Structure 1
Amino acid sequence: MARPDLNLLVTLHVLLEEGSVTRAGERLALSPSAMSRALARLRRATGDPLLVRAGRGLVPTPRALELRERVRGLVQEAEEVLRPAEKLDLATLERTFALRTSDGFVERFGPALVARVGREAPGARLRFLQKTRKDAGPLRDGGVDLETGVVEHALAPDVLSRPLFTDRFVGVVRSEHPLSTGKVTTARYTSSRHVHVSRRGLTEGLVDEALRPAGGEREIVTVVDGFSAALALAKASDLVATVPERHTENLRQGMCTFELPFRAPEVTVSLLWHVRLDADPAHRWLRDCVLDVCRFDGQR
């Protein structure tokens, strides 16, 4: 079955409003012959003459009268669909946004972000999800609106990103640990026992790569999948946790933080989203909120 030409809806709408082929043609910038051909196509499509001669003019058939309001509604709805979105009204916005973030992000930036969203859009809600693996599936299927993470490889064309901040690694121990006093040298650092963070269970990472040129090697005795777990172990034992500084500021409270005795590795944390949401006004507003919260925090 051939698909109907939806352009005929606009033609039918104008014809039924004007009740004249000539006036309808003028509104649509079509010649009388082109309008006559369009009316003929409409008659074939609907199986009804639609407009019939009555004296010197045309009058609508019962079928045309039946269709007039329906056609007007369809055309108006189509025009709404194709019209640019109205200006975002944050005061009336009611929407839940899902953010998938790495360990420590919510603790560090969540309070300021929730407060900002609450002030500007009281009806908006934030749903934070723990990022347990790197994959773009949740962004693509709409399960996640925004995601934070370190971009290690080129992103797929349908995933967009923007840098949030650059973070550097620091060492963290409990306040009674031997490394909490005196200068921390490479020798003292490597002679301690370490907890390593890896979602994939690897026993080496950026810190070990940075340590190698200094001639050192960590003794990693346990591997965890998140910064909070690493810091919890370090706080309750003599293990050393090496974690991103800004990301874990709130998690490190009450512990001793020291600069690494070698060139500390740095990572850039980015904000990621799917291209289909790039032009969405509410989504753009939320992205700006996240960017501003992270930028302001870095200027304190």
Structure 2
Amino acid sequence: MKNKTNLRYKWIVGFFLGILLLPLAVIIIWSFARNWPWPKIFPSDFGMRGWEYFIAPSSKSIQVLLFSLGLSFIVTLAVLVITIPAAKALALYQFRGKRLIEILTFAPIIVPTVAVAMGIHVQFIRMGLANTLIGVVLIHLIPCIPYTVRILKSVFELVGEKMELQARVLGAGKIQTYVYVTLPMILPGIISAGSMAFIVSFSQYFLTFLIGGGKIITFSMLMFPFVQSGDRMLGSVYSVVFILTAFIFLMIIEKLTSRFYKGKLGEYHYV
């Protein structure tokens, strides 16, 4: 009976993995296929035109990709600086207007992005932030904050503040308490929230196009026209690079986090 249950579980897992991986496999094949006419199951004509275009200096694809990574990294750091104290306050403290602040925090997810962005664009023009890198960074904060606050709020609710209070009673200062007590406990949540913020920022097209005014070019802005056009090879190449970039970033973060816990923080029993 147990073997049948395990076999059924493996079939279910394999089925859903197949659903997730099949579109990715099709995109990878398309990135090398010159054409894929119906009703052929596999293309018969392959080429490297899409990848040659991507790595060509004239396309500036690699340069834009590196710029997008740097932009998303800056946005991620800014989001974490803003949302860590905000999430802690919402999770652990009671104050007047708390419920309203929570609603406003999650409003960017509920309210259509177009409506929010158009109003902010007008204000950014008046403030001189339109068509600037700072303006793009600020507009990227809006879709990132709700997700990071939600994740970190749940982490602080789970962790609580008893360990912090105990550390303060034992004579630890604020910085010591945060570095040696709070940070190790909330670090997995920070990694999760930061990863989410990075991916959300990295994938922004409309907000970047609107606020950047075409002067701030990100990888999503390069990819989107190819995806919309009939050139499936180029669209697939940029899609594969986009997916691999996000995947590699998450893997690097996972490895660094594992080493951090096994190394420096392994001696602390509260981890």
Normalised by the length of structure 1, the TM-score is 0.23
Normalised by the length of structure 2, the TM-score is 0.25
Higher helix share: 2
Larger RCO (CA within 8 A; separation ≥ 6): 2
Higher strand share: 1
Q: Of the two, which has the highest radius of gyration? A: 1
